[in-house]
Copies of this chain bind each other. A is one copy, B any other.
Amino acid sequence: MSPGAGVGFLISQLGYVISGRFKDLLAPLGLEPRQFLVLRHVAQAQGSSQQALGKALRIPPSRMVSIVDSLERRGLVERRANPTDRRARALHLTPEGRRMLARTFKVAVEHERAICADLSPAEREMLVGMLRRLTLARQLVPGVHPALTSEEAAAS
């Protein structure tokens, strides 16, 4: 079989373009994909420490610092004091952060719509089903894009 025709190559090639396109869609909001990833997880687990978040997302502590820095500078996230541990910072979404997250979801929905524009709803569902079977077989963490996280810790 000619390379470029297989499922593997197609998915890999498409994935690169799709994530690049999402990055472009996020750019007008002043958000990078990694910032979006962290913002979303802060919303899901308010009050988490930076390293707890970093562990879940496989982002090393030193990188988390600058990501949270940028989110805080933009007023989307707050570093509050943790009442029980003065070393840790409790991360919280600000109202502005919540609004931003809502905007990103709209972007994501539009992105998805554009990608699947040529597919019927039934086809789309079938596609999702097959892709999901492929992901399950590969032990991926749902909702966490490995390109934005660290290579290591895969052995854990």
Question: Which A residues lie at the B interface, using CB under 8 A?
Answer: 1-22, 40, 105, 108-109, 111-112, 114-119, 123-124, 126-128, 130-140, 142-147
Contact = CB atoms under 8 A, between A and B. Distances in A.
Nearest to A37: B3
Q: How many copies does the complex hold?
A: 2
Contacts of A105: 3
Contact of A14 (B4, B15, B109): B15
Contacts of A108: 1, 3, 6, 8
Given A3-B143, A136-B21, A111 B14 contact: no
A7 B120 CA distance: 13
A140 B5 CA distance: 12
Nearest to A109: B1
